[in-house]
Structure 1
Amino acid sequence: MRTIDFRAADATARRRLLHDQWLVTNGLGGFASGTLSGAVTWRYHGLLVSALPAPLGRTVMLNHLADAMEFPDGRLLRLGDLGAVAEEEDLARNPLVEFQLDHHVPVWRYEAGEVVVEKRLLMANLQNAVHVSYTLRAGPADLRLRLRPAVHFRPFEAAVSTPLATGYELRLQGSRYEIDSHEQYPPLRLLLRAADVRFAYDGGATFDVHYGHDAARGYESRGSLWSPGFFSVALPLNTPVTLVASTDEWRTIEALDPETAHATELERRQRLLRIAHPAAREAFGGALVLAADQFVIFPIGRIKDAARARAMGDELRSVIAGYHWFTDWGRDTMISLEGLTLATGRTQEAAWILRSFANYVRDGLIPNLFPEGQNEGLYHTADATLWFFHALDRYVAVTQDRETLRALLPVLRDIVDHHLRGTRFGIHVDPRDGLLAQGEAGYQLTWMDAKVGDWVVTPRRGKAVEINALWFNALQLLAGWLREEGYGEPAAVLGEHATRAATSFNQRFWNAANHCLFDVVDGEQGDDPAIRPNQLFAISLPHPILAQEHWAAVVDVAERELLTPVGLRSLSPRHKDYKPSYTGDLRARDAAYHQGTVWAWLIGPFIDAWLKVHPQKRADARRLLDGFSAHLDHGCVGSISEVFDAEPPFTDRGCIAQAWSVAEVLRCLVLTSQE
């Protein structure tokens, strides 16, 4: 259980109430998220962001729940009201004294005089439903709880300035309440599980909200929320009162009472801890296991794909790359698969993910991403497909599942054939040296993909170092699998391609002046000597393409210039384009995204490479993860951010919870625990 105590916090510490966040997910890509204080500061904040079938996608359905304790004399003790906590000068009046994660369920404890109130929030797994429960732990018996729902139905990426619907309507039927916008969205259904429930309808009030985080990021920051009125309910001592908000059908909502929902979700999470690798069950690892669970999803919008998978005896599964805004990305899924599913004992889901993506292969490529609310993927990536080979290798190593391997061999051979003869986006093997080249005008095909308008921030067209490391690794893996399955002749041909690529790589990529590798050769501006972390993959992968004599030098350069307590810088501070912070509007952030900004996930390849140079120093490698353990109490509490500023204090930025950040730290925790 993670606990943050605000009882003795000074003004600086209490600012965390506005800046640190929490996240709860539902296994569909939907979520609930907000600041610790309850203030709405970001377009993505909401108590119910439902994952709806295409073309809607993820949609903010319940933006806020203003909660307050109501005394008999009419006084209100506001817990998370928009007006009372949205500005920093009001933080001292916030009665929040403690925030906890109990098995990753957020718990708020409020104290004011003799009154002690506890609030819990969870989402039912595989349902678009949130349960918000309140329990009076101490206080007078005649207290009531006041809850005011506020809404602005909109796509979760839409500007907060998007006009409110003009036709919001509240419908009542017994204890059922529905808010309907009479637009394309389903109604928001509300059910208050309590005795003595009253509802005060005030004609539909509108509240103006300043989204401070959006303002800092250069986006529209003034929006409005609509509320039909408020609930008032008796709150007996130690008797939970729960509001359920959902876009599901009533029969689904009423089939799961709050007590059962809480008990079953707790048991599900306890089981996740039981089946995880033993090294992932202690406090740090256990927190990562529960964080990892938030990214493995059933993509509810792809109905036909799910039906096909079930017809084959499988289930459709994918990986959300990051919260709040990323969808499922091929590259992120394959890099994350070992940490999210194999280190956690979820091998069946790993198989489903691999087989799902195999069905999406087109022209030798797996999708780069699935756009929000769409069923068809986009394929502009040169590395995601090569990471697919690596993910399958790790899966087979853990499970010995040769049946899945054999089923995927035709797909793997087709992928390699397409790369050898050339496929989309200029991805092809150069017949002159056997190296893999990529690039086409208007596209960024590597993971360093920032592009602002026509400005390519990190131009990497040509032969990128990690692309060729991955290509060599894929060739060696497929050749080995083919030999094991009795296909000696095609295996030998692939071996020849691999040998030629390795020979050319070691001739072309070694930069003697910097004692490390070029980032790109034969690029638009020639060979790029920028010192970046991409060169580590030439050592870290199971089949390293770089000659062993150069390993120590490359690792030393990366350790000296790129390593931080929370990952690796994306560019050496000595480079003229280095940016120390990831702040400002979209253009400023993209200019820094891969130009120094620290990426947490890169600690994985660094530790892999470092251990190949220092195989007896696993304890030292384990200490490289200490910064992430501390980070779990900051940012999105209980998870790991996407990126960090490149200089102390290494402020967390970007997505508040990132799949490959969590996955690679968890994988390395398991790796460094083994003798």
Structure 2
Amino acid sequence: MPIIFGPHDCGSTTREWLVTDGTGGFATGTVPGLRTRRYHSLLTVADPATAIRHTALAALDLTVTLPSGTKVPLYTHEWASGAVAPEGHRYLETFALVDGVPRWRWRVGDVVIERELAMRHGHPSVGVTHRVVSAPGPVGLAVAAMCTWRDAHTERHASGPALRAEQVADGVIVEQAYRIAGPGWQPAGEWHLGAYAREEQARGLPAVEDLWHAGTYFARVNPGASMEISAWAGDLGLRPPPATAVITEARARARRLVAAAKADETLVLAADTFVVRTPDGPDVVAGYPWFGSYLGDTMTAYEGLFLDTGREDEGRELLITRTENAPLTWTPPRDSPDAPLWLVHAVDRHVRRTGDSDLAASLIEPLGRLLGERLGGAGPLDLDPGDGLLRLREGFIDSATPRVGKPVEINALWVNALAAMADLHVEAGLDDASLRARHARARDAFLDRFRAPEGWLYDVIEGPAATYPLGAGAHHDDPTLRPNQLLAWSLPHGPMRGSSFFAIGEALLTPLGLRTLAPSEYGYQGVHRGGRDERDIAYHQGTVWPWLIGPYADACAAAGLPTDGLLTGLKAHVSEWGVGSVSETADGDPPHRATGSPFAARSVAELLRAEQRYEP
């Protein structure tokens, strides 16, 4: 179903839209069109070799000339002076997201103008149409191309190197990197100084840049007719299909995806934005607009993104590529200590749900080699020969959230991985008694060591006393109430699966997911705001993670507890912030305002997966 906002909500700069090109590039912005982030643009291009993104076409500023001759700007910018000018968003009648395609509708009396845009899947290309829906006669449309070319995580200024622009008959080629084409091109060539991005200021980052007005497209358009503009990177001499055709195909592709998935269409289309194809095969972007690809996030999201959307073949290719090409040594920051354990889980879920015994047979050897090399080598994890559990070494984690010792979630994943590996051997027509024995030993050790007297599980056992000042002796078992322990109940082979649990929901559950720390615990941070340091501390100290709703629902179902209503808040959130998607994080305190990335792969994947299982 389409998501539609009326005039009141169209003014909200907290709602953002996103379209993607399937290669890692994207277009994104706020519903009213105000650029509040350095990442907001109509064309951001991903380098196919490095995956580094560059911001290209920052904006297309539309001004309409009414039949009376009056000129009305329909765009808006915020400036370093504090001014918001012009205020074209005041004329927005509706914003709609239909089949994943955003549509703006402005009304100036009896003149109605619509803009739509879509990206050409598999190509760094965007098509934008401006249609005169109704008017008493022809109207003039002027669209100013506001340009830059920079790393998406930075800014560009007039005081720096000049922006190289080559004028061509129907537009401009910028930095020999991208081209813009449309009707009635009139070159310009001037900097607009002091464009301000309020969200970057709020995050403690540079918030001011300059934009290059490359020129303006002009057309006189009759009611019912359209003006089209295209922008693309790659082969600049190879013109993409017309913008109307790009939008039509984007809609058709969206309908094909929904039909194949037979799931919530909004979440299916949201899931699609994260699945990209690189020269090495399929991959997953962890979140937009600033995240790249990370093995742990990819495999945590795997089941929802691929198995619940009818993309098993693509997923199979991804599993093979990421398993066979996974580095045997830890490679931060694109890797996390638990990433190989999530990879085993993803392969196990694929085989369980598809019956693909050939995949099991082909991957058990490289998976076993990966686990063997990652444990006890130069990486962050050691296998304790005494009890068969995993220890996280010092120096491999953020000092704001100490996890040195034996963390509960890593060892729940480890117990799960041992059982999964044993099952994969059986699926492949083999059996490994030693794996069964190792699993039983680790499971028993987990059950013996992680039960805390408070009634839940220790968050970390055998942590150094220096790290946990309240501890005594050489080691300390930390009973801090966090959601990490949920994996022990939720994973298919989790050591606590099926047993009862309490306190977790009462202290941690919110309408948008689970808090990362109970409010009653020392160090709780109920707001995930401020500069980078403040946000990094709060991230694990009370901030809500929406993706954890999936493990929580699994744990409830396995223990025979009700799951009714668990997803209500998150399903409503789909139209609150990242329109049609789910945010990375939210404040721990009510009303749980969304924070972090507005479009997060794990959050979408786990909501989609949980909805398929518990709200069919």
Q: If the TM-score is normalised by the length of the shorter chain, which range does it land in?
A: over 0.9
Matches within 5 A, 1:56-455: 57-71=52-66, 74-82=69-77, 94-159=90-155, 163-172=159-168, 174-175=169-170, 177-181=171-175, 186-192=176-182, 197-254=183-240, 256-276=241-261, 278=262, 280=263, 285-299=264-278, 303=279, 306=280, 316-363=281-328, 370=334, 379=335, 381-418=336-373, 422-441=376-395, 443-444=396-397, 451=398
Equivalent position SS for 1:151: strand
Q: Is 2:424 the partner of 1:481? A: yes
CA 1:64 to 1:545, structure 2 compared with 1: closer, same or farther past 3 Å?
same
User: Given the alignment, which residue of 600, 603, 606 partners 1:664?
Assistant: 606
Contact 1:43/1:160, CA 8 A, preserved across alignment: no
Q: Which amino acid aligns with 1:190?
A: I
TM-score norm. by structure 2 comes to 0.94
State the partner residue of 2:2: 2
1:266 maps to amino acid: R
The one-character-per-residue Cα deviations of 1:124-147 (angstroms, maximum 9, x if unpaired) are 001111111111111132311111
Alpha carbon RMSD of aligned pairs, Å? 2.2
Q: 1:641 to 1:429 in 2, by over 3 A?
A: same
CA distance in 2, matches of 1:241, 1:542: 54
Q: Per-residue displacement from partner, 1:158-195 (whole Å, max 9, x unpaired)?
A: 145585531432321x33x22333xxxx4321121xxx
Gap runs ≥5 in structure 1: 307-315, 371-378, 445-450
Contact kept? 1:151, 1:225, Cα under 8 Å: yes
What is the aligned counterpart of 2:402 among 428, 446, 459?
Answer: 459
**Cross-structure match for 2:596:** 654
What per-residue deviation string (whole Å, max 9, x for no partner) do you get for residues 227-279 of structure 1?
Answer: 1221111222112221101113245434x222332222222111101111x3x
**What is the rounded CA distance, in whole Å, between the counterparts of 1:329 and 1:242 in structure 2?**
37
- Matching residue's letter, 2:407: A
1:557 aligns with 2:503: yes
* SS of residue paired to 2:500: helix
Query: Counterpart of 2:42 in 1: which secondary structure?
Result: strand
Offset of residue 107 of structure 1: 0.5
Task: Give the direction of change, closer, same or farther, for the CA distance of 1:169–1:416 in structure 2 (3 Å limit).
Answer: closer
Change beyond 3 A, Cα 1:332–1:215:
same
Once the two structures are TM-superposed, the CA of residue 656 in structure 1 deviates from its matched residue by 0.7
Q: How many residues matched?
A: 605
Do 1:160 and 1:221's aligned partners in 2 also have CA atoms closer than 8 Å?
no
Does structure 1 conserve the Cα–Cα contact (< 8 Å) formed by 2:101 and 2:247?
Answer: no
Q: Give the letter aligned to residue 331 of structure 1.
A: G
Query: Hey, what does 2:491 align to over in structure 1?
Result: 541
| 2:442 paired residue number | 501
CA distance, structure 2, for counterparts of residue 594 and residue 388 of structure 1: 23
Answer whether contact 2:567 2:607 (CA < 8 A) is retained.
yes
Q: Does 1:47 align with 2:42?
A: yes
Which deviates the most, 342-351 or 91-100?
A: 91-100
Paired residue for 1:602, among 548, 555, 561?
Answer: 548
Show CA shifts across 1:408-459 (max 9, x none). 1111221343356x12324121011111112242x22xxxxxx4xxxx1101
Report what 2:473 is aligned to: none
| Counterpart Cα distance in 1 of 2:89 and 2:512 | 34
Instruction: Verify the 8 A CA contact 1:364 1:416 in the aligned structure 2.
Output: no
Q: Quick one: distance in 2 between partners of 1:498 and 1:339?
A: 27
Question: Take 1:119 and 1:140, find their aligned partners in 2: how far apart are those partners?
Answer: 19
User: Which residue in 2 is equivalent to 1:590?
Assistant: 536
Give 5+ residue unaligned stretches, structure 2.
469-475
Greater shift in the superposed pair: 659-668 or 88-97: 88-97
Are the counterparts in 2 of residues 84 and 90 from structure 1 also a CA contact under 8 Å? no
Contact 1:472 1:543 in 2 (8 A): yes
Q: State the match for 2:26 in structure 1.
A: 31
- Whether the 8 Å contact between 1:426 and 1:439 is mirrored in structure 2 is yes
Deviation at 1:493, TM superposition (A): 0.8
The TM-score normalised by the length of structure 1 is: 0.86
Alpha-carbon distance in 1 for matches of 2:215, 2:86: 24
Partner-residue secondary structure (3-state), 1:602: helix
Cα pair distance change 1:84/1:139, threshold 3 Å: farther
In structure 2, relative to structure 1, the CA distance for the partners of 1:92 and 1:334 (3 Å cut) is same
How far residue 543 of structure 1 moved from its aligned partner, in angstroms, is 0.8
- Taking the aligned partners of 2:159 and 2:413, their CA distance within structure 1 comes to 47
- Given that residues 38 and 155 in structure 2 are in contact (C-alpha distance below 8 angstroms), is that contact kept between their aligned partners in structure 1? yes
- Is contact 2:361–2:425 with CA below 8 Å preserved after alignment? no
Contact 1:506 1:547 in 2 (8 A): no
